[in-house]
Copies of this chain bind each other. A is one copy, B any other.
Amino acid sequence: MAKEPSDVMDLEDRDPNKLNQHLQVSWEDVIGEPASIRSPECAWSVSNQCFKLSKNFCYVCLSVVCAPVTAFCLGITFACLSFEQIWCRTPTLRVWKISCASIRNFVAVFAHAIIIPCTSACGYFWSEIKVKTHAISGDVDEKKDDVLLV
């Protein structure tokens, strides 16, 4: 039973994996009046009720009408995707890995024979770079004399 985590359905916590945490659509997340300007309490309360009722009613209607159909289509989609991944994509990846492993050997041999000698020789272009460090103890900001004043 522990392997099928959705056998016992949790009706309270419906987003255990935090998929839609960015979906912040409560009244406090959308509308806020700062302290310097205020609408009357009646308008504020009525607007709050309008927002909540329309949002909840509309979402309930949508979820009742469309959610089962959507979930049905999603189920089919994920079944096909799973089949394609398990039976086609992963075996193809194994073929690809085996092919590339042998190709890498060819490329590595080629690189050691042709590329590395050339680039190593060209690398002597940088061989004379020297970095000398010198700690300066005196002042750095010399005040510029104001040439307009004597």
Using a CB–CB cutoff of 8 Å, the interface residues on chain A facing chain B are 3-6, 9, 11-12, 14-48, 50-60, 62-64, 66-83, 85-91, 93-136, 140
Q: Are B31 and A87 in contact (CB under 8 A)?
A: yes
Sample of 15 more A-B contacts, CB < 8 Å, known A19-B31, A39-B67, A93-B102: A11-B41, A24-B36, A30-B90, A30-B94, A48-B71, A54-B71, A55-B82, A59-B79, A81-B99, A85-B98, A100-B110, A123-B127, A129-B129, A129-B130, A133-B135
Q: In terms of DSSP, what is the predominant structure of the interface of chain A?
A: helix
Say whether, besides A37-B79, A60-B43, A64-B39, A22 and B101 are in contact (CB < 8 Å). Answer: yes
Find out whether the CB atom of B90 lies under 8 angstroms from the CB atom of A20. yes
Q: Is the CB of A79 within 8 A of B101?
A: no
How many copies of this protein are present in the complex? 3
Determine if A78 and B14 form an interchain contact, defined as CB atoms under 8 angstroms apart: no
Q: What is the distance, in angstroms, from A44's C-beta to the closest C-beta of chain B? A: 7
Q: Give the contacting residue for A87; candidates B5, B15, B70, B105; CB below 8 A.
A: B70
